[in-house]
Structure 1
Amino acid sequence: MAGGLWIAWRLTRRAISTLCPAFLPGEPNPALLATPFENITSQPEDDNLTNIQEYDVVIIGGGTAGCVLASRLSENPNLQVLLIEAGKSDLAILNSRIPACHSRLIASAVDYNLKTVPETNMHNREIRWPQGKILGGCSSINALVYHRGAAADYDEWAEKYGAHGWAWKDLEPYFRKAENFTPSSNWPIDKKGHGRDGPWQISYPSYTSSILPPFISGCNSIGIPIVPDINHGQTGMIGVTRVQTFIDSDGRRSSAATAYLTEDVCRRKNLKISVGMTVTRIITHTAADGKPVARGVELASGPHVPIRYRVKATRDIIVACGAVHTPQLLKLSGIGSESELTRHDIKVVKDLPGVGANLQDHLFIPLTVNSIKGTGVGYTRKPRVPLKWFIRWLLHGSGMLGSNLIQVAAWLRSYDDPEMANKIEDLTSSPYEPDIEIITVVSSARNIGQTRATNHLTDYWSLLQILLRPSSIGSIAVADNNPFTPPVICANYFNTEHDPFKKSCDIVKSSGAFVSWELPKRADELSDDEILEYLKDSANTCYHPCGTAKIGAEDDGGVVDTSLSVYGVPHLRVCDASVMPRIISGHTCAPIIAIAEKLADMLKGEYGTTDKRN
C-alpha cells in the first residue's frame, strides 16, 4: 500500500512539474537588466553610452549557439554575461518538450513565420522558413535529429575555404564535450566515439516502429550497407542507420536551452537573461585610429513602444541570431554592402559585402506511401493527440510521443549511380561522402507536416529525400531600416541542381513494407520531366540555412575571421550557422553547438589573459 502511494505521488509530481514548471528562465522586465531611454525617432540618434548598464559580454540571440555561450562563459564567476532573446522560455511551451509534436510548432507563436520571396524556379512558391523565436532557438522547435556530419566536410572548410582551426580534428572534441550519450541495447555501437559527461542528452528513441527492419532490408537490397553509427567521425558516411536524437531519459526534448540553461546555471549571479526583447541595432563608436568599435546594443520590446533600452559591453558583443537574423542585424547596424545600406538610409559603419550573401539550405522532397497497417502513427492527421499517448508520455516519458517520429535514414552518393554520373557535377567533400539523405517520417509530411492526410483508414509513411550538397546560392537582404520588418529571403532554390528522386522509389519497392503510392501517384513511373515538376511543386526546406556571415578572407566574401570576429569592427563576433563557409552533408544543430563550445573555450583563454578594454 505504502509503495503504491509513493509511486502515485512520484508520478503526480512529475505530471505537475511537466505541465506547470515552477522555474522559467529569463527576466521579462528589461528595466532590471538595461538602461531605459526615450525613443525619439525624429531627432538624430544619440549613441552616448555614459552611465549605461554594462556587462563584460553581451550575447544577442538565445538560440542554439547563444545558450551554449551563455552557460559556458558564465562558468567564470568574474565575467558578467547578458543573454538577450526575443522569445520566451521553451519550458512554457508544452509542444516544445514533447518530441513527436515538433511539427505543431511550425507557424506557431514560437516561430518567426518567415517566408522566402516567390522562388522563380519553384513555380513562384513562397517557401515557409521556420525559425525559432524561443529560448533554444531552432533546437527547441526542430525535428530533434542529432547528426554531426561528415568529417571531410569540416576538413574542406579549412583546406578549401580558409577556415583554419575549424577542421574535423578541431571540432570533434567539442561534439564529445557537449554530449551525454545513452546507447541503445537493441542497436549496439562503439560508445568510444561519443561523450558521456556533457549537458546535451543524446539517445535513440525508446519507441521503434515495425517499419524499421523492412526499410533497412530494402536499402540493403539496392546496395546500401548498414552503418551502425553515422556519427562515428571516421571516413565514409554512406549507409543506412537508426537516427540518433536529442531526447532525454524522460522522453523530453533536450534543447540547447534545457541542456545548457538549467536552473542552477540560470541562478548564477553573473548571468542575466533577458526575454521578450529584440535587439534593434549594435552601437559602435569610432576609436582613435578611426575604426568603428562595437560598444553596446539597443533593444526594444516592440516596434511601437516609446521606450528603448541600452547596455554596454566591456569586452565583446556576440551575435548569435542565426543565418537569417544575424545578417539582418548586422546590416541594420551599418555593417554590410554599402550600396544596400545607402539604399535603405542606413549609416555605413563597415562596407562588408559578404554579409547576407552565400546563403545555402537543404531541400527535401516528400514521397508519401501507404504502409502496412499498424506501422504508422497518424499523428499529423489528427487534430488532437490521443489521450492515452499523452498520459503515457506524461507519466513515463515513453510511447510514440517520446519519439521524434523519425526512425531510420540512409546516406548515399548519386554520383555512384551510372545513370547520374554524367548528368551532374560531384560536389561532395570526399569520394566517400554522400550528397543525398533519405529519411523516414512516421506520417504524411507534405508542407513540413502542415498539410494533413485525409484518409483516416490508411497508415502513411513519408520518405524525405534531402539534397545535401546544393550548388544554388541565395541571399538575405533588409526590406527597410525598421528592425521589426522581416528580412528578404531569396533562397534561389533549383537554380542549378537536379535530383535523382528515383532512389527513394527503389527503396520503397524493395522493402515490401509499403503497399501503394500516395504522393505523387505512380511515383515509380514518372518521367524525369514529371519528377522535376513534382519537385518544384512539393520540395520544401529542412530549415538548415547557413553561410550568410561566413568564415573566410574578406576579399572572398568572408565576414568573420577564424576567431569569428567581424572584419573591421573590433569586439564584435558572430557565432551561429551563418559562419559556416559551406553547408555540411547533414543536419546543422549539432555542428552549431560544437562551434559555440569551441568559441567559448577560445574566449575563456582570451579573457583569462587580457584586461578589459577602456
Structure 2
Amino acid sequence: MNYLIILIEGGVAGSVVANRLTENSTINVLLLEAGPFHKDVIETTIPFYFWLGIPDTYNWNYTTIEQENANNRTISYPRGHILGGSSAINGMVYDRGTTDDYDKIANITGDSGWNWENMLKYFEKLETFGPPADRHDTMGQYNPSFHGLSGPLNVSLPGFSQNIDAFVLQTLNNRTYPYTEDPNTGTELGFGWQVSTIHKGTRTTAATAYLADKYLERPNLDIFYNAFVTRVIASNGSTIDTVEFHPVTDNEAPTLSIRASREIVMSAGSVNTPHILLNSGIGDNATLMSLNITTVHHLPEVGKNMSDTTVMYVSWEVNSTETFDILLNNNTARAEAFAEWNATRTGRMANGVINLSGLLRMNDSDPEVQNIRQQFGDPDAGITAADFEMLFINGLGSPSNGSYFTMLFGVLSPLSRGSVTLNASNPAGPPLVDPNYLASKYDTLVMRQALLTGFNFLSTEPWTSYLGTPVNGLAEVIAALGTDNFTAMDDLIRNGIQNGAHLVSTSAMSPYGADWGVVDPDLHVKGLQGLRIIDASVLPFVPGGATQLPTYGLAERASDVIKSSW
C-alpha cells in the first residue's frame, strides 16, 4: 500500500499525530510501533500499578551510564514499550507548564505559534475534564474556564481521599505556602490539587484516547505492532523517504523497508529518536566516524543537550494504617482493593500517584539564594515558573514493611546537560543514556533549598505528631539542620537522586537558518527533506514540572502545522 505519512512509534506524540492526520480521509498513515498492542493489559489500566510495578515487557528497560556526581550509580530510566508509549507506565501527572515556559519557547525558536496564548487552545482542545472516581465535590479545586470538555484525553482530579490531604491544606498560608486553585492556568506557583490522566478510575493513555476503536476503524490508518525501526534512509539526495524495520518477535525475520510518498515523522521519544537518527547516519560527523557509520547528514547536536528534571524521595515512618503501604506488603489487602476496583473502578487502586503538590520558587530574600542567583543566574523561564516541586506521597517507604510518609523533591530547571548516543560495541543495541545528573553545582544547591523548604513545611502540627523516625539516611540530615554543615544532605542527594523521566532537548528546536539545534520551528529536520521530529526531544527545556501534557500539546499543534502544508 502507498502511504503518504509514516509515523515512527505510537507514544504520546505519535498517537496524537496519527489521529489528527487521519481526520483527513485523503491522508494515508502507517504507524510503526515497536511494542505490543495496549488493550487488556491490566497493569497499564489500573492507576495504582505505578506503585505495584509494571512488567518489563512494557518497558524499554534502559539504564543510565554511571553517573559520576551520583556516586557512580547507574539509574533506571523507564520508557514505555507499548502502544501509548510512556503514557502507559508514567505517573499520570497532568502539568501543562506556565505562560513563561511557552513564551520562552516562542522566543527561542522565533515562532510565536509556540507561545502560551496559542498553545492554551490546544490544551483545551485535547482534553475532557471529567469527575473524579469518588465523585467528590471539586468546587475550588480547579478552574473550569481553562479546561476542555470534548477532547480525546480524559482527565480528572484525585479519586480517593487521603489523610495527608488535610495535613497539607492545614499547613498552607497566604504567603510562604499559598494555595493555588488551578496550577494549569499558566501560573503554577503554590500548592494545589493534582489533575491526572485518569478517567472513571482507569489510566488514560495516548492509545486509549487517540487510538480508540472508532479511530482504529479508519481505513486510512494502519498500525504495525512489534515493528522495531532501525534506520531512516534517503533514497535520493537529501530527501528521507524510507523506513527500515524488523519484527521484534522474530529475530530470524529479514529487515523490511517501506517508503513514504510525502514524509516520515519521528515520534520515538527523547531516547529512541536520536538513537535511530544516529544509526541512520544523521548526527555529528566525528561521532559517526568513530562508530563506523557513514554520515548521511552532518547535524552536530543530535543526541546532545539532554535535560531532565532531577528528583529524589525522602521518607519517615508513621504510625498509621491509612497509607497505601499495606497494598504493597499485604496480599489480602491488595486483593480486597483490586476487588473493589474491579467491581466499581473506585478505591485506592483508582487513584493516581499524588493528590496534592507544591511548586515553588526559592526565597530570593535569603542570602544563600541570592548567592545562587548571582553565581548561576535564573534558568527558569520567568517569574511564573517554579524552581522546585514538592509532592506528597501517602506511602512508599523502604524497607518493604511498615507505614511511611514520603516527599518527592524535584529540581525543575536543572543546568546539567547530558546526552544520548550509541554504544560503540553495539550501535544497534540499547543507547548510552547520560543525563549527567548534578554536573552543575546549581542543581545540588537548588535541591538543598527544596529539602530545607520541605523540612520547614513539615515542622509544625499536624506533621510533628504524624511523622516518626526518618529512614534511609534522612536522620543524619535532619540532625545537621541549623548548622552550615551540608555534608550529610549532599550525600543524601548524591545517593538518592533518581530520574525524573522528563527527558527533553536531544533533538531541540531552533530558529530557521540557525546553525544550532536539530529541527526548525515547523519540526522539519534541518538540512533534510521529508523528515520531521514530533516528540519531547524537540523541547529546548522541560516546561513546568513534567513532559506528558507539553508533548500532547506539541503534537496537537504539529498536526495542524502538517495539515496546513498540504
Matched, 1:298 2:244: yes
**Structure 1 vs Structure 2: percent identity of aligned residues?**
29
Matched, 1:524 2:472: no
Tell me which of 276, 295, 309 is aligned to 2:256: 309
Matched, 1:442 2:389: no
Deviates more, 1:513-522 or 1:204-213: 513-522
How far, CA to CA, are the matches of 2:185 and 2:534 in structure 1?
25
Q: Match of 2:500, as an amino acid?
A: C
Tell me which of 396, 404, 407 is aligned to 1:463: 407
Tell me which of 515, 520, 525 is aligned to 1:566: 525
Shift of 1:269: 1.0
CA shift digits 1:416-440 (9 cap, x unpaired)? 3514322323221113421110011
How far, CA to CA, are the matches of 1:192 and 1:173 in structure 2?
12
How far, CA to CA, are the matches of 2:167 and 2:175 in structure 1?
13
CA distance 1:124–1:509, shift in 2 (3 Å)? same
How far, CA to CA, are the matches of 2:379 and 2:261 in structure 1?
43
How far, CA to CA, are the matches of 2:112 and 2:537 in structure 1?
17
How far, CA to CA, are the matches of 2:111 and 2:53 in structure 1?
34
CA contact (8 A) 1:202 1:244 kept: yes
The answer for the alignment partner of 2:39 in structure 1 is 91
1:355-504 matched pairs, under 5 angstroms: 355-378=302-325, 381-382=328-329, 384=331, 386-416=334-364, 418-425=366-373, 426-444=378-396, 452-456=398-402, 459-480=403-424, 484-496=428-440, 497-498=443-444, 499=447, 500=449, 501-504=451-454
The answer for the alignment partner of 2:554 in structure 1 is 595
Structure 1 unmatched runs, 5+: 1-52, 446-451, 608-614
Matched, 1:275 2:225: yes
Matched, 1:246 2:197: yes
CA contact (8 A) 2:96 2:184 kept: yes
Deviates more, 1:292-301 or 1:98-107: 98-107
How far, CA to CA, are the matches of 2:399 and 2:33 in structure 1?
36
Q: Match of 2:392, as an amino acid?
A: T
Shift of 1:525: 2.4
CA shift digits 1:219-268 (9 cap, x unpaired)? 438821000101012xx32110111001102x100111100111111111
Shift of 1:328: 0.7
Shift of 1:92: 3.3
Deviates more, 1:531-540 or 1:501-510: 501-510
Secondary structure, counterpart of 1:205 in structure 2: coil
CA contact (8 A) 1:116 1:127 kept: yes
How far, CA to CA, are the matches of 1:367 and 1:481 in structure 2?
38
Tell me which of 506, 521, 524 is aligned to 1:548: 506
Tell me which of 302, 306, 323 is aligned to 2:270: 323
1:202-221 matched pairs, under 5 angstroms: 202-220=155-173
Shift of 1:379: 5.3
CA distance 1:352–1:164, shift in 2 (3 Å)? farther
The answer for the alignment partner of 1:21 in structure 2 is none
Tell me which of 188, 209, 213 is aligned to 1:237: 188
How far, CA to CA, are the matches of 1:511 and 1:61 in structure 2?
49
Shift of 1:150: 1.2
How far, CA to CA, are the matches of 2:493 and 2:318 in structure 1?
22
How far, CA to CA, are the matches of 1:97 and 1:63 in structure 2?
16
CA contact (8 A) 2:327 2:334 kept: no
1:120-199 matched pairs, under 5 angstroms: 120-182=68-130, 185-188=137-140, 189-199=142-152
CA distance 1:218–1:556, shift in 2 (3 Å)? farther
Secondary structure, counterpart of 2:239 in structure 1: strand
Q: Match of 1:550, as an amino acid?
A: A
Q: Match of 1:117, as an amino acid?
A: I
How far, CA to CA, are the matches of 1:278 and 1:375 in structure 2?
44
CA contact (8 A) 2:477 2:488 kept: no
CA distance 1:105–1:294, shift in 2 (3 Å)? farther
Shift of 1:414: 1.4
TM-score (norm 2): 0.91
Shift of 1:75: 1.1
CA distance 1:319–1:485, shift in 2 (3 Å)? same
Secondary structure, counterpart of 1:226 in structure 2: coil
Secondary structure, counterpart of 2:437 in structure 1: coil
Secondary structure, counterpart of 1:305 in structure 2: coil
CA shift digits 1:64-99 (9 cap, x unpaired)? 111111111111111110111111122232111000
Shift of 1:102: 1.2
The answer for the alignment partner of 1:507 in structure 2 is 457
How far, CA to CA, are the matches of 1:486 and 1:383 in structure 2?
36
Matched, 1:535 2:526: no
Secondary structure, counterpart of 2:235 in structure 1: strand
Shift of 1:415: 4.3
Cα RMSD between the aligned structures? 1.9
Shift of 1:586: 1.0
How far, CA to CA, are the matches of 1:89 and 1:319 in structure 2?
19
The answer for the alignment partner of 1:81 in structure 2 is 29
CA shift digits 1:283-319 (9 cap, x unpaired)? 11234xxxx1011101112484241211110111000
The answer for the alignment partner of 2:297 in structure 1 is 350
How far, CA to CA, are the matches of 1:353 and 1:315 in structure 2?
26
How far, CA to CA, are the matches of 1:242 and 1:134 in structure 2?
29
Count the aligned residue pairs.
540
CA contact (8 A) 2:285 2:298 kept: yes
Shift of 1:187: 4.2
CA shift digits 1:158-214 (9 cap, x unpaired)? 224545421112211111111101256244232110011101011012201011011
CA contact (8 A) 2:105 2:114 kept: yes
CA distance 1:190–1:221, shift in 2 (3 Å)? closer
CA distance 1:444–1:604, shift in 2 (3 Å)? same
CA contact (8 A) 2:309 2:502 kept: yes
How far, CA to CA, are the matches of 1:322 and 1:559 in structure 2?
14
Secondary structure, counterpart of 1:211 in structure 2: helix
CA distance 1:383–1:371, shift in 2 (3 Å)? closer
